[in-house]
Amino acid sequence: MNGLKMKNKICIIGLGYVGLPLATSLANYHQVIGVDISKKRVEDLKRGYDQNKEISKKKILNKNLKFYENKDLKDNKFDIFIITVPTPVNQIKKPNLSSLIDACKLISKFFKKRNLLIVESTVSPGTTENICKKIISNYSKIKYKDIQICFSPERINPGDKKNTLNKINKVISGNSRVAIKKAYTIYKKIVKKVYIADNIKSAEISKIFENAQRDVNISLMNELLKICELYNIDYNEVIRICSTKWNFSYFKPGLVGGHCVPVDPYYLLEDLKKKKFKSHIIKNSRDYNEKFVKFIAEKIMAFTRKIKNKKILFCGISFKNNVLDTRNSKYFELYKILKKKNNITLYEKNINNLQSYNIYIFGSYNLKTNNLINKIKKMKNKKIVISLFNDLNLKNINNLKYLRI
């Protein structure tokens, strides 16, 4: 991209799974300032290191990309601001917008009438205009009607090397034709296709619908798995049979963790209370998936109950396959549940005396998984292997008792 004229100066607030790939992609066409509240995160990125191992050093050290802590941000005459901060829930599953509100307050110090604000953080319908836009107006002293604002739901999938930012469809919405045109111009070069939604509220709720649907589908498969248990039937075999029908939709059961699927539905559920609407399917599915980890723990303990002197090795506690993040991980929660009543250790590459363990549990799949599987194949002692929602292909191994859930 050398010699390409930088058309905009863009400030991105939040440099996690969403903000960093967005920043590195936009830096190929624009001057980008990436801002994060974490001092360590900023220091790491300045030397080209991504702790999530999602973005390469070469992309991070793009000369058109600079990193700052929130407190060090100065007025660089920005054209566009993009918010990609997390919008989690608190301990009682209520939406926590504190990071979003703080980001809006920070932006308002530098926001000018000609600027555009794009919100990518997941929010309930109406938040972009009723909260973000109002904060910018109140703190910047720019009239509410003069603020250009867009909402574009993020679709980053951590650990997915196939559906990366440049290969997905990007939804945008805005409060004016000018705002939409500006957003379309910057996104069109870094994604597969840009889809323009009719209004901001539709775009906001679309993100929640996407993850609510996934949550509901997984909860159904989790219940079908439980039903197969009651009949002592192999769930995986039943699904293979069902999949021979042309209109059967294939979904997998699983432990639902992370920062999107188990979080986003709560934003809608909380907002629906204002509408005096009681959700049944979304609410029940969320509750079902939240408690499903206890069923898996009970199943593991039942399967291993007769084993004397149990010594368990647990591999994979990140919230999903091929990521390092253990925050909001149901696999990590499962490990902690099992640890209360068992002698259990987390697997590390340099761990000694692997053969001293007699039970091996595989949670989320990662780079360590194959390493441990290859070592297990060489072991001659009797062993039990439990695989959680992954086919480890451990057939024809001597002295092996294998449970695949």
Total Cβ atoms within 10 A of residue 78: 19
Cα–Cα distance for residue pair 9/33, rounded to 1 Å: 8
Nearest Cα residue to 312 out of 350, 351, 347: 347
Q: Which of 201, 116, 119 is nearest to 152 (CA)?
A: 119
> Cα dihedral sign for 237, 238, 239, 242?
positive
Q: Residue 396 burial by CB count (10 A; 0-12/13-18/19+): exposed, middle or buried? A: exposed
CA 390, 392, 395, 398 torsion: positive or negative?
A: negative
Residue carrying structure tokens 């399917």: 281
Residues 6+ apart with CB under 8 A from 208: 122, 124, 264, 265, 267, 268
Number of H helices, E strands in the chain: 13, 13
Residue at token pair 């938040």: 127
The C-alpha atoms of residue 13 and residue 66 are separated, in whole angstroms, by: 12
At 125, list the tokens: 């319908």
Query: How far is the first Cα of the chain from the last one, in angstroms, to the nearest whole number?
Result: 48
- Residues 340, 342, 346, CA angle at the centre, nearest 5°? 90
CA distance 383 to 404: 14
- In the chain, helix, strand, coil percent, each to 5? 40, 15, 45
Active-site residue, from 11, 104, 132, 260:
260
Within 8 A by CB and 6+ apart from 62, the residues are 24, 27, 28
Residues in the chain: 405
Q: Is 260 a catalytic residue?
A: yes
Q: Which residues are catalytic?
A: 260
